[in-house]
Every structure is written in structure tokens, then in C-alpha cells.
Amino acid sequence: MALTREQIESIAALARLELSAAEVPVYQDSLSRILDFVGALERADTASVAPMAHPLPGLSQRLRPDTVTEQDRHAEYQQNAPLTAAGLYLVPRVIE
């Protein structure tokens, strides 16, 4: 299966990844080869098999009571942020 340049650009757009012009053919080649490789799965007969949802049989996601357990540590967390002001994360203007 050969992916086109346009397909790679559309996947990159969905994944919010900026690719350079030089990167596009590299991923075109390797993603095509990966999809060929995983194409081997088609041969497996899975007509009556349910998709696996959890690695441990019989277990599913545990739920917890809907109560507040977190403390307010936003000042500490925001020390890792590239840009903040007045306790808020700053991004470029979204609404004109």
C-alpha cells in the first residue's frame, strides 16, 4: 500500500505535526511499508473474536467516587509553562 504525498500531509495535519518538505517523502516511504507489514493481520480469522479491551481478562476500568481530591497547585504547575499571566496559560488570539 503506497500512501500519497497528500495523504501524509493530511495525516500530519490531523496529528498537528508540522513536517518539512524533506520529511514528507521519508514518512511516505516508511508509513507505506509499516502499513504493508501490519497488513498481515488481514489473514487472521477473527470472525467470531471480540476486540480485546483490557490486558487482564475479566477486568475493566475501575471508577472512583466523584469527589475533589486534588489540591490547588496551579502556581507550581505553571512554572513549567512557556507563557502565563495572572495565573492563566497564554496562547495566540483565537477569536478575533
Chain residues in the site for another protein (CB under 8 A): 8, 11-20, 23, 26-27, 30-31, 33-35, 37-42, 44, 46, 49-57, 59, 61-64, 73, 76-77, 79-83, 89, 91-94
CB of 6 to another protein, least distance (A): 13
CB of 36 to another protein, least distance (A): 9
C-beta closer to another protein: residue 59 or 85? 59
**What is the chain's percent helix, strand, coil content, to nearest 5?**
40, 5, 55
C-alpha dihedral sign at 86, 88, 89, 95: negative
**51: its cell numbers:** 476486540
Rounded Cα distance between 40 and 44, Å, is 8
CB of 52 to another protein, least distance (A): 4
